[in-house]
Amino acid sequence: MLTRPSIVEVITALSLASAGRLAAQVVHGTVSLPDSTTPLPGVIVTATDARGATAARALSGARGEFTLRMAATGQYSLKVLRIGFRPTQGPLLSVGTDAIDGVHIVFAADPVSLAAINVRDRSTCRVNADTGLLVTRVWEEARKAMLTTQLSTSEAPLFAEWIEYDRTLDSTARLVREQHVHTARNPTTHAFRSRPPEVLDSTGYVVADSGGITYYAPDATVLLSESFAAGHCFRFESSRDREPGLVGIAFQPSRERREIREIEGTLWLDKASAELRRLDFRYTNLPDVTRAAGAGGIVEFLRLADGNWIISRWSARMPRLGAPSRTSDNGLRRVIMTSTNAIVRSIQVTGGEVVRVTRRDSLLYEERGPRIALQVVAPDALMTVAGSVASLDGTDYHGTADSLGKVVVSPVLAGRYHARVRTPFMDSLGMAAVERDVEARTDSRVDSLRSPSSRDVLTKACPRDSIAHGEGMLYGSARYGQAMVVMQATVVVTWKSDISIIGAADAVHWQYTEKTVGTLTDDAGRWRICGVPRDRLLAVRIIADSGFDGRTIRLGDDQPFAAVDLVVHQDVTRAAREVAVAAGLADRPRAFVELAVIDTHGVPVADATLDIAPSTGPTRTVVTGPGGRALLPDVSPGRLTVRVRRIGFRQGEVVASIETGRNTVPIVMSEIRLPTLDTVRIVGDQRLVGLRRNDEFETRRLNHTATVSFNRDDIVKRNPVDVWQMLTGVSAIRVVDSAGVTVESTRSNKTHPDGSVTKCYLKVMVDGMVMNAFADQAFDLRLLPKPDEIHGIELFAGPASIPLQYLGSGGDKWCGLIAIWTR
């Protein structure tokens, strides 16, 4: 039984195996066609001693020359072997200490026909020249091709370029999960080399040790060895209707080797030319599930233009076994591993393909290979597909679309892949890639893939309530003049509404409501703001420690979003600025104020109206957004009076002291008492004094009370587009991204009085307020506050871990709780 991931050992040979060179016992000669003039390249010349043993072999070159080197003096008989023809007997030579030159052999050209052979279920377990069986004739033709792959001529060596790969497929062997590829170029006649035949004969082809399970593939040396011929039985094999032009020599372990992990398979030859095409083999004596998954491999042979033979493609296929997961009635997970219930988890394939063969400047072979072609289609004019990047999961294959959106990835290994396509715009918003399965093909077919529409982009990038009334989105990047990105800088968008004229003719003034929304740039200098109105002048400003920038823009009714790239103009040093202010050459320092309005339970209060009266400058009115926040850029430092009002809450007024730089003013509203100033100012990363609602979270996090918890540092490190993305990958729950984004328990279901069972959705709570009050109600996680508004996230995977003050009861007993705590 296989208990570890299967591995294959296929050893690539990077140089020619050169025989030892002797000073004497050398025969030089040529081989020609029956006209005695035309040279015959790519044939095997053998020298046989008086006992009938082969003493030397050589391959004829482009001009028909060959060189034989014998180990001793004596009488030797020469013979010429060519695939598809009977052997031609050469002269009998007496080889002494001096070299023999000028030997000439005329090839007889007596063809061998395999087409007339009738395939019968007849086998022999001793294939040699004395058997006299038809199976021997076919086996000899296969041996000639395999011998040729091992021999070299005295000419310039062959240079082969090949791809070696190790890939992991899914359990169905249809989809590539992971792949590692590297290329090599070396003078070689061996694309790969296996273990020595005598070692495989004694240990078998599948070996288990402390490091795992090792599979070995046979090369030509193994197949031509005496030990292989002695340990296997051979018979004819029909290709049936699938490949009628082929005839096969099937082999299987002899009776004495049935208990060893061996190989069985078929060598396939062309009936018309007697040329060897490929070897199919399977591993034997393995568990049934392994055999059913196709544990085995393939070796393909190729005849080059100059008559030489090479192994052009090889692969070995190894199933990876594992135990099925089982869950008991009480929800506890059990894993049981026995020989009867092991299943295929994945399939590992290791192999290689020769893509190019040259000798000197001559190209002898080139493999074009399959490709992946994708056409990225833009559903509307706002979406640009030029520059889209397509990548294949588990590989380093990728390609970039041209101006028309076409992506070609070539060459790739044959197989089916999971493709992901991202446009530059999607990347700038941090959106997930568009996905589909594709197959590498050799024809001209192009698969099409539709990019998201502008509406799709808007709904994915923005919370639903921020665009519920036709609002749009602004996005962009921020950089310094030197092209450096601006990180963690404040970007605000401000607009005016409810504009009216107040007063008599001699004392007219404008009255309006100003609304501001803002965000921070990420580590790549990118920013995004949702919920901005269309067909209204929008002021976009960035405030950084070292400078500022500002633009104006207007979104049209048919324009859901627009890009605004900001360039920060670096400010003068603090000392020089103070001198300029004292001399009246520059304005006084300015401040940035963030107002956070919450109720007594810590829940953000949206749509609260704030009348702002700074120490200097005009009075302004702003409205809080969905997160209960309002931003005031460019405020004069000093005293700031804020009057807060909202239907359902008591109106009131608070006063804060504002200093240069960034200020945060949290305000608590109550239904029964006047608003109070919770804290006056925060600078940098200091914690807000008075926000005690997060103390319980920090205590539970330190005590590891929750199943999983994330603090502010965790959120910043992961930098998700939406908060729910922090929950993906947690084993106790399942996040489902369909019409909405919901979360359900993987540990238990909901049982009803009638005996029916449904999914159990986790409760979602924001700052102590439950968002889905009913037992069977799923909450859309896209409606949660944005990541930059979150202080911490807690996940309680079962009722036993939920704090008592939050636990449901009776029929509303909760199967889990997700608690969100805002900043």
The CA-atom distances, in angstroms, between 62 and each of 66, 153, 186, 268, 586 are 10, 9, 21, 28, 88
In this structure, how many other beta carbons lie within 10 angstroms of the beta carbon of residue 718? 11
Residue 814 zone, left/alpha/beta (φ > 0; ψ -120 to 50; rest): beta
pLDDT digits (tens, 9 = 90+) for 512-526: 667 778 788 888 888
Q: Residue 644: name the closest of 621, 678, 614 by CA.
A: 621
Residue that is last in its domain, among 633, 662, 690:
690
Confidence band, pLDDT 50/70/90 cuts, at residue 621: confident
**Residue 415 is assigned to a structural domain of this protein:** yes
pLDDT digits (tens, 9 = 90+) for 283-293: 988 877 777 77
For 667, counting Cβ atoms within 10 Å of its Cβ (0-12 exposed, 13-18 middle, 19+ buried), the class is buried
Do residue 211 and residue 263 come from a single domain?
yes
Contact 758, 744 (CB under 8 A): no
**Residue 286 is assigned to a structural domain of this protein:** yes
Do residue 478 and residue 429 come from a single domain?
no
pLDDT digits (tens, 9 = 90+) for 143-197: 777 777 767 666 677 788 888 888 888 888 778 888 887 777 766 655 567 888 8
**Residue 132 is assigned to a structural domain of this protein:** no
Letter string b/e over residues 217-253, b meaning 16 or more CB atoms within 10 A of that residue's CB: bbbbbbbbbeebbebbbbbbbbbeeeeeebbbbbbbb
Do residue 182 and residue 265 come from a single domain?
yes
Do residue 205 and residue 346 come from a single domain?
yes
**Residue 118 is assigned to a structural domain of this protein:** no
Higher pLDDT, 804 or 505: 804
Confidence band, pLDDT 50/70/90 cuts, at residue 555: very high
**Residue 727 is assigned to a structural domain of this protein:** yes
User: What pLDDT score does 586 carry?
Assistant: 45
Residue that is last in its domain, among 312, 344, 366:
366
**Residue 153 is assigned to a structural domain of this protein:** no
Do residue 599 and residue 698 come from a single domain?
no
Taking every pair of Cα atoms in the chain, the longest distance, rounded to a whole number of angstroms, is: 132
User: What pLDDT score does 114 carry?
Assistant: 65
User: What pLDDT score does 512 carry?
Assistant: 64
Instruction: Give the CATH number for residue 740.
Output: 2.170.130.10
Direct distance between the N- and C-terminal alpha carbons of the chain, in angstroms, rounded to an integer: 55
pTM: 0.48
Instruction: Give the CATH number for residue 621.
Output: 2.60.40.1120
Do residue 358 and residue 386 come from a single domain?
no
Do residue 205 and residue 106 come from a single domain?
no
Instruction: Give the CATH number for residue 38.
Output: 2.60.40.10
User: What pLDDT score does 188 carry?
Assistant: 60
Do residue 173 and residue 309 come from a single domain?
yes
**Residue 11 is assigned to a structural domain of this protein:** no
The total domain count for the chain is 6
Do residue 466 and residue 613 come from a single domain?
no
User: What pLDDT score does 807 carry?
Assistant: 65
**Residue 585 is assigned to a structural domain of this protein:** no
Do residue 609 and residue 741 come from a single domain?
no
Residue that is last in its domain, among 366, 400, 425:
366
Do residue 67 and residue 81 come from a single domain?
yes
Nearby residues of 649 by Cβ (< 8 Å), 6 or more positions away: 599, 605, 608, 669, 670, 671, 675
Do residue 527 and residue 640 come from a single domain?
no
Domain extent for 387 = 372-455
